[in-house]
Amino acid sequence: MFFANCILKQNKFNAIIQKTCELKFSTNAISAARKKVCIVGAGPAGFYAAQYILKRLPDCDVDVVEKLPVPFGLVRFGVAPDHPEVKNVINTFTKTAENPRFRFLGNLSLGKDFSVKDLRDKYHAVLLTYGADEDRRMNIPNENSKNLISARKFVAWYNGLPGAENLNPDLSGDTVTLVGQGNVAVDIARILLSNVDALKSTDITDYALEALSASKVKNVYLVGRRGPLQAAFTIKELREILKLPNVSTVWRKSDFRRIPEIVDSLARPRKRLTELMLKSLSEQKSSSTSQKKFLPIFQRSPKEIHDNFIEFSVTEIKENTAIPTNVSEKFQTDLILRSIGYKSRSFDEEINFDEKKGYIVNKDGRVLKRNSQHESIDKGLYVAGWLGTGPTGVILTTMNGAFCVAKALCDDVEQKLIDTQTEKPGLDTSDKHVVSWDGWTKIDKFEVELGKSKGKLREKIVDIEKMLKIAGL
Ligand code: FAD
Ligand code: NAP
């Protein structure tokens, strides 16, 4: 609700904080100790929060610690390689990083190299934005079967996340079933069904390109537990897959019973998405010459995994919820990709982490103390991004949320709700192999040049030791 209330367009935001900063500058200049803020995680939430804090508090230094030697989180390791325009946000992040009061400390992990307590001792305020790097599970029999892999790992594999390079997904069969109908599932369906020539010039990893070139996948099912009116994918992503050359989309007519009658009463974005599905259904040809098929299926909830098929319960929708019935349907499939969402984790027992919902409990980004009867704020500790909201939302949503949390942090500093009078030393990294922003720019240059030699936007380095070497460590 708070996030919804403070959605700002970036330009308007910049004008507002510029004004705010001008007004506040004189009061901030009086206080002696430099303010020190530490942000954990160099994804969009971390960068947008740093941008706000640096503009609003002229006497504040911001350190961003990141577990990988490279920045940008899911913008680098999540966003699909055939969506390069989405990655333009990196230009804004780079401008923030070039501020002399910003320090990038790459290759340092919360939980391994330091604890939250270490950071709280060494900074006036700590903002956690380390995202969600685990999987939600379906909790059904045989979920660990070797014909099932997580969508998160598959995305990490084609996008070059260190450690994911040896996934070796088996693409030798003709059918893949994606469980879940979010945009991650649609991204994967598109990558599996695209002609590899369309991917060759992107920053997709060489090994993924090679595996996709040899892929025998022809049919990709996209299975949702609810109906077309609750589909989690968005119109732009659906339109893109409907336009793929040599791919026909096959809907099941029975999934759309009674939908045409109510489509006009739907709210606008849902109405447009439903109209597009109905249009595509009406244009569906019984015999198609396309070699590949995209097959969305609705009202099927995963029930059990078997060697060469997956069983789903047929569901009924009651008050927008999928209720499994006793009826089931089996789908022959060679590979199953579980795409039902990412999951955050906690690195510290002291922190109020809601295991069920998968986020740090907070109010307007201020972390709430564990076991407190009234909402008691853990002063000086903040959370933003997917770690504070759960793993949903696009970069724009994450940006708006991060700006709001950064505003809360700056308000608390200015209203002296957190002590900023005592000097804080910041993190001592003298005994660590830390990648600085300068180190990252060396890796960046190396990757772009290597990519150029292959006719690609970039060739990502996936080996951490090699990254460190290129960064000069
Ligand atoms: P993240 O981007 O995950 O950043 C978290 C950072 O914290 C990472 O850099 C991580 O390495 C670091 N970290 C993790 N653990 C630690 C630790 N222990 N210590 C230190 N650092 C740590 N949105 C769009 O608008 N367009 C798209 O096309 C799009 N595509 C997407 C594709 C996929 C597959 C996914 C999953 C999401 C996509 N999104 C897209 C959504 C977008 O990526 C998110 O909204 C956004 O990245 C969330 O930002 P974040 O900063 O909360 O998390
Ligand atoms: P998501 O949008 O939340 O979709 C998750 C899907 O999994 C839904 O279809 C959900 O169904 C289903 N699901 C959840 N639990 C399930 C279970 N136990 N059994 C069966 N199905 C289950 O998540 P996501 O696809 O991981 O995407 C995360 C966020 O990143 C989204 O906000 C997305 O828009 C964004 N993103 C954007 C882009 C883009 O802009 N191109 C690309 C990728 C990701 P229910 O709806 O029934 O719960």
**Chunked mean pLDDT (size 10), the chain, 473 residues:** 43 45 40 86 98 98 98 98 98 98 98 96 98 97 97 98 98 98 98 97 98 98 98 98 96 96 96 98 83 97 97 97 98 98 93 93 95 84 98 98 98 95 94 97 98 97 98 96
Question: What pLDDT does 2 receive?
Answer: 43
CA of 14 to the centre of ligand 2 (A): 31
Distances in Å between the alpha carbon of 234 and those of 230, 242, 371?
11, 12, 38
Query: Running DSSP on this structure, what letter comes out for residue 105?
Result: E
Distances in Å between the alpha carbon of 423 and those of 54, 321, 461?
18, 53, 39
113: Cβ below 6 Å to ligand 1? Answer: no
Q: Please name the residue whose Cα sits nearest to atom 42 of ligand 2.
A: 183
Atom of ligand 2 nearest to the CA of 138: 18
Residue 129, token pair as written in the block = 């934005």
Tell which one of 87, 221, 225 to mutate to probe ligand 2, the residue whose CB is within 8 A of the most ligand atoms: 225
Listed in order, the ranges of the chain carrying CATH 3.50.50.60 are 137-341
Please answer whether residues 103 and 63 qualify as being in contact, where contact means their C-beta atoms are separated by less than 8 angstroms. yes
CA of 2 to the centre of ligand 2 (A): 22
Q: Give the Cβ contact number of residue 436 at 10 Å.
A: 17
CA of 35 to the centre of ligand 2 (A): 39
- Nearest of 58, 52, 62 to residue 25 by alpha carbon: 58
Please answer whether residues 200 and 179 qualify as being in contact, where contact means their C-beta atoms are separated by less than 8 angstroms. no
CA of 442 to the centre of ligand 2 (A): 35
Residues 66, 61: Cα–Cα separation, whole Å: 16
From the DSSP assignment, how many helices (H) and strands (E) are in the chain? 16, 20
Question: What pLDDT does 5 receive?
Answer: 43
CA of 66 to the centre of ligand 2 (A): 26
Residue 463, token pair as written in the block = 């080996």
CA 349 to chain centroid, in Å, comes to 24
Strand duo 335-338 + 148-150: pairing: parallel
Question: What pLDDT does 285 receive?
Answer: 80
Strand duo 300-305 + 309-318: pairing: antiparallel
183: Cβ below 6 Å to ligand 2? Answer: yes
Angle at 18 between CA 14 and CA 22, to 5 degrees: 170
Which DSSP string do the residues of 254-289 spell out, in sequence order?
GGGTTHHHHGGGS-HHHHHHHHHHHHHHHT--SS--
- Nearest of 234, 225, 227 to residue 256 by alpha carbon: 227
Atom of ligand 2 nearest to the CA of 394: 35
Q: State the angle between helix axes of 44-56 and 89-97 in degrees (0 to 180), rounded to the nearest 10.
A: 50
Residues 387, 361: Cα–Cα separation, whole Å: 9
Right CATH number for 137-341 from 3.50.50.60, 3.40.30.10, 1.10.940.10, 3.40.50.1860? 3.50.50.60
Listed in order, the ranges of the chain carrying CATH 3.40.50.720 are 33-133+344-434
Atom of ligand 2 nearest to the CA of 78: 43
CATH class of the 33-133+344-434 domain in this structure: alpha beta
